[in-house]
Structure 1
Amino acid sequence: MNISEDIIKEMSKFGLTRYESQAYLVLLIKGVCSSKEVIESVGIPQPRIYDTMMGLERKGFIEIKEGRPRKFRAIDPETVFKKIQEDQELIVKQLQNLYKKEYVYYESPVWTVYGSQNMINKIRQMIRETEYELLLAVPEELIGKIKGDLKKAEERNVFISTVLYNHAKTYPDLRNVWIFDREVPAMIIVLKDRDQGFACPYKFLKGEGRVIDERYGILIENKELLHILSDFFLNTIWKTSRRILEELDVRSKSFVHIAIAIHEYKKLEKEGYNVRAKVMGKRTGDNMPIEIEGNIKGVEESSIIHRIVIETKDKQITVGGWDSTKEDIEMEIITLYPTKDDRL
């Protein structure tokens, strides 16, 4: 019997095997048949005929009349496919109910980096990808492994401030990089712009550069945790370290931490520079993005407040740092433009 391949393919969409489709079509055309007649019509192998007919009966396509021989009859296609449609509608309804449920998925805010070399590779990657500001607190042993990356970051005009632990004897030969020394080591920290932070135990490196491979570090990309790590770096490590090298750099620089920007502004002001600034951030009142440009007229700094006052063409605007509420703008990036022009 010649049966259209297109029909067989279409019927497979309803869960029928090729043999089941062939057998059902035979019964539609010939009416009541025995298994032998089905085999003779479409060539279904004898060992497969029982499973084929039982499958059709189980799926609701045929009826079986017991006897010798057993007889099979096709159920009206309209009845069959109406039942299939009802079943499909029921399944869709059940799935839709699942789809409408609001599941909350929590993605870990912290990634773990295992192995000394992987940690060094991650630090180097962060340095290479830094766009504005790079803050580090590292042992002297690590500098040799990342010096080339620091040099390239410096050439990209990235601001770099490095705290070296435990009375470092050598310092990276880099221009325009702030270098501090801290007698008591804390954890190793690398802060890339305002989007990534890395931290691991100080004993990540030990002795003559011997690396302890069982150590691991954490990579943070969550804003709230980055804020905590940044505060720890600035208030516990950076502000308690001794300045070794802090040359005046009169190129324009961009900063993401307001405490660092204020520190740079004070240096420039002390040397007689006026400073113009461009700020990108958001208004604290409604969180809408904003960009302003003007002259810095003053700063306010304490253990809990960091504020810059900028005079634009028509008014003075206060700029704060991370999660500011009292200032007009929460700063995300500030660029300082030093000048000796007294007209500012």
Structure 2
Amino acid sequence: MKEEEIIEKLQKLGLTKYESLAYITLLKLGPSKATDITKESGIPHTRVYDVLSSLHRKGFVDVMHGAPRLYKPVNPEVVLEKIKEEFIEDLENLKAAFLELYRQVHGEELPEIWTIQGFENTVERAEYVIRTAKHEVLINAPFEFLRLLKDEIKRRKDIIFVIISNFEEIPEWLNADNIILAKTGGAPWLMASWIIGDIDYALFFGALPRDKRREKFYSFWAKSPKIIQNYMHWFYTIYLDNSEIIKPLNYGKLPKPLSFVNIRTLITVLKFTELPRRAEVIGRLVETKEPVTLDGEIVEYEYTPLMANVTVKASGKEWKVGGIGSYFEDVEGEKFILLE
């Protein structure tokens, strides 16, 4: 990266041009006198002390007192990590403030749904879903599209994948222990592609474009838990349940604990192991909405197009646990953790 580009990026982080020049100069020279910094950087002598003092306040420079006084650059990794942490904290605080302002007027979470234009942008969003997922990724897409996600899928060994596609054979890069593969059963009346990460992000689109229309390709991007829950339900009941499992999960080889936010993913995984299974469930009591954590064993499950729940034996009692939005069960499960 050219020095001009570095200066431009440092200015975006809140440094002035002179501060950027001084810090870059110190990285080149190491601990230096103010006069040396002036000579190397071109910063006017009348300004250099103010610039260095400002850099010290911002955490970029340490002052080594003595005769002469020396200025030492703080390790860039330390500086940038601190800026990153503060920036993320500020963003989270802004997000919370904005949502609170929205709820005061509308009384609900701000729905986040966008239209994405361009095929390359859609691929980038699909990669982002996989890259940021913490628990599970659900994919229903033609193999032609699936191949474009190869590198991101191979990289994630720490989450569960449930992938439906028009497989002819299973490629080596999809043979990992944490991947469930199903050969699509069709459902031509509702053919669509989905890439869903936890309940945080979902990407949806129809038929893939021909080359000459790639820039006119549109997809839909959602960050709305209520909508994503519906996507998840359709993914399982319309697509996976009407497809053929061609590669099961290798449950025994996966490091534990395993965590999920979708109860249908949990039950799909349980089908590849034996019950009872030690587990922890974090959620809320359906009647009172009080937080509850169950630490016990999953002893059975129920799975139909209309209903999905597990029975957890904990604290000398059996609890019926459903997914988010449950109202027939005892507990609305928000997170499911398999401990063994």
Q: Distance in 1 between matches of 2:312 and 2:170?
A: 40
> Is residue 123 of structure 1 aligned with residue 126 of structure 2?
yes
> Is residue 310 of structure 1 aligned with residue 312 of structure 2?
yes
- Structure 2 residue aligned with 1:294, among 293, 296, 317? 296
The structure-2 alpha-carbon separation of the partners of 1:120 and 1:287, relative to structure 1 and needing over 3 Å to count, comes to: same
Instruction: State the partner residue of 1:333.
Output: 335
Measured after TM superposition, the shift of residue 173 of structure 1 is: 3.3
Tell me the amino acid that sits aligned with residue 281 of structure 2: V
Instruction: State the partner residue of 1:133.
Output: 136
Q: Is the Cα contact below 8 Å between 1:204 and 1:211 reproduced in 2?
A: no
Q: Distance in 1 between matches of 2:249 and 2:313?
A: 28
The structure-2 alpha-carbon separation of the partners of 1:170 and 1:294, relative to structure 1 and needing over 3 Å to count, comes to: closer
- Structure 2 residue aligned with 1:226, among 228, 252, 259? 228
Tell me the amino acid that sits aligned with residue 129 of structure 2: M
Which has the greater radius of gyration? 1
The structure-2 alpha-carbon separation of the partners of 1:210 and 1:332, relative to structure 1 and needing over 3 Å to count, comes to: farther
Q: Is the Cα contact below 8 Å between 1:189 and 1:200 reproduced in 2?
A: yes
1:50-61 equivalent positions in 2, closer than 5 A:
none
The structure-2 alpha-carbon separation of the partners of 1:120 and 1:311, relative to structure 1 and needing over 3 Å to count, comes to: same
Q: Distance in 2 between matches of 1:239 and 1:137?
A: 12
CA RMSD of aligned residues (A): 2.4
Instruction: State the partner residue of 2:162.
Output: 161
Measured after TM superposition, the shift of residue 223 of structure 1 is: 2.0
Measured after TM superposition, the shift of residue 247 of structure 1 is: 3.6
Q: Is the Cα contact below 8 Å between 1:151 and 1:174 reproduced in 2?
A: no
Measured after TM superposition, the shift of residue 218 of structure 1 is: 0.8
1:37-116 equivalent positions in 2, closer than 5 A:
103-104=105-106, 107-116=110-119
Instruction: State the partner residue of 1:341.
Output: none
- Tell me the matched-pair count: 229
Measured after TM superposition, the shift of residue 170 of structure 1 is: 4.9
- Structure 1 residue aligned with 2:199, among 189, 194, 211? 194
Q: Distance in 2 between matches of 1:146 and 1:210?
A: 22
Q: Distance in 1 between matches of 2:145 and 2:324?
A: 29
Give the number of the structure whose residues are more often helix, by fraction: 2
The structure-2 alpha-carbon separation of the partners of 1:146 and 1:210, relative to structure 1 and needing over 3 Å to count, comes to: farther
Instruction: State the partner residue of 2:174.
Output: 173
SS state at 1:327 partner: coil
Task: Extract unaligned runs of 5+ from structure 2.
Answer: 1-100
> Is residue 204 of structure 1 aligned with residue 208 of structure 2?
yes
Q: Distance in 2 between matches of 1:114 and 1:336?
A: 39
Tell me the amino acid that sits aligned with residue 204 of structure 1: L
Q: Distance in 2 between matches of 1:105 and 1:288?
A: 21
Q: Distance in 1 between matches of 2:323 and 2:221?
A: 22
Instruction: State the partner residue of 1:149.
Output: 152
Instruction: State the partner residue of 2:90.
Output: none
Tell me the amino acid that sits aligned with residue 110 of structure 1: I
SS state at 1:204 partner: coil
Q: Distance in 2 between matches of 1:303 and 1:104?
A: 33
Give TM-score, length-normalised by structure 2. Answer: 0.62
Task: Extract unaligned runs of 5+ from structure 1.
Answer: 1-98, 339-344
Measured after TM superposition, the shift of residue 119 of structure 1 is: 0.5
Tell me the amino acid that sits aligned with residue 259 of structure 1: R
The structure-2 alpha-carbon separation of the partners of 1:198 and 1:112, relative to structure 1 and needing over 3 Å to count, comes to: same
SS state at 1:303 partner: coil
Q: Distance in 1 between matches of 2:322 and 2:147?
A: 36
Q: Distance in 2 between matches of 1:200 and 1:312?
A: 42
SS state at 1:213 partner: helix
Give TM-score, length-normalised by structure 1. Answer: 0.61
Q: Which moves more between the two structures, 118-127 or 281-290?
A: 281-290
Q: Is the Cα contact below 8 Å between 1:141 and 1:205 reproduced in 2?
A: no
Instruction: State the partner residue of 1:66.
Output: none
